[in-house]
Structure 1
Amino acid sequence: MGKAFSAADGQPLKGTQGKKDFSLKSLIDLVKYPVITEKTYLALYENRQYTFDVDKRLTKTQIKNLFENLFNVNVIAVNTHIPPRRKLRVGMAQGYRPSFKRAIITVKEGQSINYHFSLVQAAS
């Protein structure tokens, strides 16, 4: 794969030495969707923590750089975990849902992520 580029200036992402690189076009696709539950709303308003499901291959450093470049915020901390896979059953056939990584992003005080607008703007 090619080098990993930031969305802002076309420079390679920091912290990607020896890791799998991602192209500029695929940066937007690495953030799958925000997780919206009662628990994540409490974390958002109490601790400025946003929860997203991201590509499983990303490291914490890559996630931090991705969010700083894509949403123009200062990321203080990144916590990640991979939830257990859920079984999926359709009739007699049984399988599993795709696995993903959940990232909890803490941003600097006074900043926020407007993910609906930012993802639409970055895609166009």
Structure 2
Amino acid sequence: MPAGNGDSGTTQPASEPVDVAALFEALRSEVRRSGADPGAGSGDPADRRAARDEAERLWPVSADRSLRLRPGFRGGLGTPVKAVLRKLMRWYVEPLAYDQRSFNAATLRLIDDLQEQVDRLQAEVASLRKQG
């Protein structure tokens, strides 16, 4: 009779042990393939540069976005209504967007500072290894 594991509701036969290491590696490879974990742990400068470029592109959050015109009657009616609603809600959304932009900019500055410290420490360790 299958025994439930209680956490996810899936059932496993009681006689088959689960290989946790293999399961973990399979999940890790799925995350890598999905692109949700770009360059994590690889240390490749090209991966870091790509992640930094993406962060630079995405950090300026704004309440203003272009409206996409839907085809047909709903698009013709909905687009002007959405435009008016955006203008009316801007006073409410923009302070949140401003705070998010500030946080994103501070985070990117902190990450740059930490990367400079790591680079400096790695250079120091390399020079100490050459000496010793």
Which protein has the larger Cα radius of gyration, Structure 1 or Structure 2?
2
Instruction: Identify, as 1 or 2, the structure richer in strand.
Output: 1
TM-score for both structures, normalised by structure 1: 0.22
Instruction: Identify, as 1 or 2, the structure richer in helix.
Output: 2
TM-score for both structures, normalised by structure 2: 0.21
Higher RCO (C-alpha 8 Å, min separation 6): 1
